[in-house]
Structure 1
Amino acid sequence: MIMNKKTIITIVLTLVVIAGFAQTKTATITGYSPAIKDGTLVFAGTGNIENVVDTVQAGRFAFTLPVEAITECSISLIGEGCPTYMLTIFLRPGVTVKLSGTDCLYPLWKVESSVPEQKTQNRLTEHCREVIKELMQMELNHKPWTEMETVETKLMKLRMDLLPSLPIDAATINALCGIAITAKNAKDFPYMEQLKNLEKTIATRAPKGFEERLIEIHNNVYPPRILQVGAEAMDAELVDMQGQKHHLFEAFTNGKYVLLDFWGIGCGPCMKSEPEMKEFYGKMKDQLEIIGINLNKFSEFQKHEFSKRIIWKNWNNASKDICSNYCDVIAMPYYVLISPDKRIVWKTMGYNYGYFMGMADALNGPKQDNSANLSLVIQKVAANNNSTTISMRYYTHKGYWFRIVKESYLSANGKKYKLTAADGIKLDEDNYPQVKATESTNEILGNIYYSDFTLTFEPFDTLPATFDFKEGDVEGAFVIRNVSLPSSH
């Protein structure tokens, strides 16, 4: 047989492609329910990363995911009638998993699979079916968390009762992790002794390969001392994208503040905050250093595109032990501001439009703690014998409104000083921001606007070193604490 060079190259390339396909291991998931509306988005992924993988048509969806070994996968359906819950399934290479139901409550659908860990997961789901259903229906009916929390605790108890009779595998350890996180975040979890005994039993009997997850569980069952505002910061070891070790205290140079940004892949608000955070960092990097602390597995952190585009210090803490020291709850994003002398200044959770612009104004203006809502900041204070006037700015999306009530007051000297006048806004009415904050055309930055206004209050009897601004005493009111007067700034 005679072959020319072109034929040889073609054969070689074909063999390379075939080899590539042979090395790609996948699992397939199919789903069907006549109740699911066409156009419902199907999100799925491994670890903490979810992406759109299909759109429901005629009640059906199907997709394939790459898997190398036993892999935990989460699935969410975003559409009319679907709860905001995740369905956890376990995959192995070459497996096809079939999901089926008759309603929109997909976390309770039948899961047909040959994977042993999925059989464990199915037993957990079936044992808790009625309580899971109750929780999802409460969520769909927009019940407050105060009502749902009792049912959530009931669910944790049911799972703990069943776990000792199940094989110790990825499904049981995943369930135990969820219980431990719930217990840590609960104000008073009533079954802590049972959880401690269960954690000890499973940790003793668990096979190799779960060491990192077991450390996370232990840190939630026996949380270390959480550092509060005013406490001295604690050093910690983290790892960069190249696998090099770093210490938190490396960032404390030249008298700078340090902002810890606890974030995760798959966290929408974390991704959403990045454009404004980048703008903030550009303006503040002479005064402040940012340390992004990623809480995913190192391999996920290292490979993800979002990690690669972060321009400040970007380190990983997959065991979450640093998070356990600094964060009151395991939630992302979570921000901790530390002073140059390594004292915690404030802590806050979540992101809204204008947070970093308000943070910059607060750091450059009168000393204050506006961490309750970083979008609202005091820019100037003038106090005399006749009145106290504070100049304020509120950042938010151009289409969002904000409101300041007539019951607002200043608190100092053990007294309340009433609001007497407002200029630039209408009290007790919806006010929309008027001025574009940047010239950016970015989808996030370009839509951040602000409003400037002044509020006048009764004069202080005696000038205090600091005062608090409170927008009334109702739940959810704006609060800015420890505001310095010009003479004490």
Structure 2
Amino acid sequence: MKDSVILVLILLALVGSVGAQKKVVIDGWLKGVEDGTPISLMKEEGSVGTEVAKDSVVNGRFHIEYGPDNEEIGRYSLRSFDKGFPSMGLELWAKPGHHMTIEGQNKLIYTWNVISDIPEQKEWAYFVQANKLLWNNYQELSAIRNIVRSADRSTGLEKKNAQITIDSLDRLSDACLYKIHKRNLDLLQKGRMTSVRLKILDAAANMIKWNHIDAFRTPVAKLYNSLDAHLKNSAYGEHIANVLYPPRVVKVGEPMYDTVLTDLDGKLHRLTEFKGQYILLDFWSFGCGPCHASVPEMKEIFEQLKDRLVIVSLSSDNKKMWKQASEYFKMTWNNFSDGRENRGIYAKYGVEGIPNYVLVAPNGIIKDSWTGYDKGSLKNKIKALTGFSVN
């Protein structure tokens, strides 16, 4: 009997061990972070991060476990939304069965030390640590910016002064980013290009696009042109190519751009199949707050104008997140993707902020294009452009 009990205990221990091996396990050791501070593990799907696990700091420690739906290396981030933290998270590469330890001395989470045996994590840490002082400065500015933005203000003068402060903080932050990416471009000249290094190159390319740092164009182009074909054809590779060699953007008054699109069942579509009706193109993502806010109004427009206006929503999310978002919103109108997130049809329509809308006339000519959403704005815009009213 005693031997049987021991055998059962051993079997239970083995089952528990197997279960643990299928989990991402993170142990954190922190200083300078108050007890009770929530720490969230975010699963990164394309450009959208979703909280999948959470713990609170107790005696300077936290412990997080998460069992993903596969055993591949996944992209994650560790974040806290408490006061004093920056608007960024600790970048993580994690795999079930591979334990990692996080060490932090403050609330500057992006530069916390990660002890892991995953090669991608070690490579990423090399670039972060090479710019640690600059990244810490950037995070401090970000944390101050969050405090300034969240403060209550009752007068126009207070709001104006707050904006002046935010603009000043942004300029200082941009100066940090310039130095960081300049150093990274130098570091990228040494060593073989990998997926992690390509992510860093893409961040430098973004400085060309968003910060207009033309001095980065030549070194980014040199590194891009040396890439193997599989890296050029990756998501980051295509995005870098769009920055260096922007595609021609279709404009108001020109024929709409068309390409092969798919629905969630894999059926192929083209925009030309809707020619003869007004077409409202809706560029969206699940990670976009105003996109969430627009859904009730979009449903009203669809229901009341379905015989006169076709809605085509175009997701910039990857397939997994696109499917989850579509189910969450219960979307019943045309809901497509070209499978290239923001690099394909998004680039051809010049979409740089979402939600973005394009109205195409029945003859296939683009009638208008605009960005952003406020309650009632879609109904008002549709009425002004087509004459169709929605109650």
TM class by shorter chain equals: 0.7 to 0.9
Quote the offset at 1:188 in angstroms.
4.8
| Cross-structure match for 1:140 | 143
Which residue does 2:11 correspond to in 1? none
Query: Which residue number in structure 1 is paired with residue 337 of structure 2?
Result: 316
- Alignment map for 1:170-185 (pairs within 5 Å): 170-185=195-210
The residue that corresponds to 1:243 in the other structure is 266
Contact 2:74 2:95 in 1 (8 A): yes
Which moves more between the two structures, 189-198 or 179-188? Answer: 179-188
Judge conservation of contact 2:283–2:315 (CA < 8 Å) in 1. Answer: yes
1:342 to 1:174, Cα distance in 2 relative to 1, 3 A: same
Paired AA for residue 280 in structure 1: I
Distance in 2 separating the partners of 1:64 and 1:261? 34
Mind listing any 5+ residue stretches in structure 1 that lack a counterpart? 1-17, 367-378, 380-436, 439-489
**2 CA distance for matches of 1:350 and 1:43?**
29
Shift of 1:328: 4.6
Q: Distance in 1 between matches of 2:363 and 2:28?
A: 56
Contact 1:203 1:214 in 2 (8 A): no
Pick from 190, 194, 197 the counterpart of residue 169 of structure 1: 194
Counterparts of 1:40 and 1:131 in 2: how far apart (Å)?
26
Q: Which moved more, 1:132-141 or 1:120-129?
A: 132-141
SS of 1:141's partner is: helix
Considering Cα pairs closer than 8 Å and 6+ residues apart, tell me whether 1 or 2 has the greater RCO: 2
Distance 2:307 2:209 in 1: 37
Q: CA deviation at 1:22?
A: 6.5
Match of 1:36 among 33, 37, 40: 33
Kindly indicate whether the alpha-carbon contact (under 8 Å) linking 2:205 and 2:216 is maintained by their aligned counterparts in 1: no
Per-residue deviation, residues 43-95 of structure 1 (Å, max 9, x unmatched): 51132331252142324432324142222212322111111113221122311
One of 45, 64, 71 as aligned partner of 2:43: 45
The 3 A distance-change label for structure 1 pair 279 and 311 is: same
**Equivalent of residue 384 in structure 2, options 357, 362, 367:** 362
Q: Give the aligned residue type for 2:364.
A: K
Q: Does 1:326 align with 2:324?
A: no
Q: What runs of 5+ residues in structure 2 fail to find an aligned partner? A: 1-14, 146-165
Query: What is the CA–CA distance in structure 1 between the aligned matches of 2:327 and 2:204, rounded to whole Å?
Result: 29
**Residue type at the aligned position of 1:158:** R
1:423-462 matched pairs, under 5 angstroms: none
Q: Quote how far apart the aligned CAs of 1:205 are.
A: 8.0
Q: Alignment partner for residue 65 of structure 2, among 53, 63, 66? A: 63
Q: Please name the residue that 2:359 is paired with.
A: 337
Residues 277 and 33 of structure 1, relative CA distance in 2, 3 Å threshold: farther
TM-score, normalised with respect to structure 2: 0.78
Which residue of structure 2 lines up, in the alignment, with residue 464 of structure 1?
A: none
Is the Cα contact below 8 Å between 1:327 and 1:334 reproduced in 2?
A: no
Distance 1:30 1:244 in 2: 44
The structure whose Rg is larger is 1
The code of the aligned residue for 2:275 comes to F
Pair 150,360 (structure 1): closer, same or farther in 2 beyond 3 Å: same
Tell me the secondary structure at the aligned position of residue 191 of structure 1: helix
Are the counterparts in 2 of residues 40 and 80 from structure 1 also a CA contact under 8 Å?
no
1:267 is matched with: 288
Deviation at 1:303, TM superposition (A): 4.8
What's the CA shift string for 1:116-167, capped at 9, x where partnerless?
0101100110112222222222222333245533433333222222123244
Kept in 2, the 8 Å contact 1:120–1:167? The answer is no
The answer as to whether partners of 1:184 and 1:223 remain within 8 angstroms in 2 is no
**Sequence identity (%):** 25
- Per-residue CA deviation, residues 407-446 of structure 1 (Å, 9 max, x unaligned), is xxxxxxxxxxxxxxxxxxxxxxxxxxxxxx98xxxxxxxx
3-state SS of the aligned residue for 1:83? coil
Match of residue 153, structure 1, among 173, 178, 182: 178
Shift of 1:337: 2.3
| Alpha-carbon distance change, 346 to 185 in structure 1, aligned in 2, over 3 angstroms | farther
Checking the alignment, whether the CA contact within 8 Å between 1:216 and 1:321 is kept in structure 2 is no
Q: Which residue of 1 aligns with 2:163?
A: none
Contact 1:231 1:343 in 2 (8 A): yes
> What residue is the counterpart of 1:125 in the other structure?
128
Residues 6-25 of structure 1 mapped to structure 2, 5 A cutoff: 25=22
How much does 1:102 deviate? 1.5
Evaluate the alpha carbon distance shift between residue 353 and residue 42 of structure 1 in structure 2; reply closer, same or farther with a 3 A threshold.
Answer: farther
Q: Which stretches of structure 1, 4 residues or longer, exceed 6 Å deviation after superposition? A: 21-24
| Inter-partner Cα distance in structure 2 for 1:308 and 1:276 | 12
1:202/1:87 CA distance change after superposition, 3 Å:
farther
Aligned-pair distance for 1:23?
12
Q: Which structure dedicates a bigger proportion of its chain to helix? A: 2
Is the 8 Å Cα contact of residues 49 and 266 (structure 1) preserved in structure 2?
yes
**Corresponding position of 1:224:** 247
The one-letter amino acid paired with 2:222 is N
User: Displacement of 1:247 after TM fit?
Assistant: 1.4
- Asked if 1:114 is matched to 2:117, the reply is yes
Provide the C-alpha distance between the structure 2 equivalents of 1:305 and 1:355, rounded to a whole number of angstroms.
22
Report the AA paired with residue 66 of structure 2.
T
Match of 2:227 in 1: 202
Q: Specify which structure has the higher proportion of strand.
A: 1
One-letter code aligned to 1:134: N
Q: C-alpha separation between the residues in 2 aligned to 1:349 and 1:96? A: 43
Alignment equivalent of 1:27, drawn from 24, 29, 48: 24
Provide the rounded CA distance (Å) in 2 between the counterparts of 1:60 and 1:251: 57
Structure 1 CA distance for aligned equivalents of residues 288 and 214 of structure 2: 26
Q: Deviations for 1:191-212, whole angstroms, at most 9, x for unmatched residues?
A: 10111111122335859xx734
Shift of the 212–136 alpha-carbon distance from structure 1 to 2, 3 Å rule, reads closer
Residue type at the aligned position of 1:128? N
Question: Aligned with 2:173: secondary structure?
Answer: helix
Contact 2:295/2:329, CA 8 A, preserved across alignment:
no
Distance 1:186 1:96, change over 3 A: same
How far does the alpha carbon of each residue in 1:365-404 deviate from its partner, in whole angstroms, 9 at most, with x for none? 59xxxxxxxxxxxx9xxxxxxxxxxxxxxxxxxxxxxxxx
Q: How many residues align?
A: 348
Deviation per residue, 1:183-235 (Å, 9 max, x gap):
2233453210111111122335859xx73442333223322012233332111
Tell me if the contact between 2:204 and 2:216 (Cα under 8 Å) persists in the aligned partners.
Answer: no
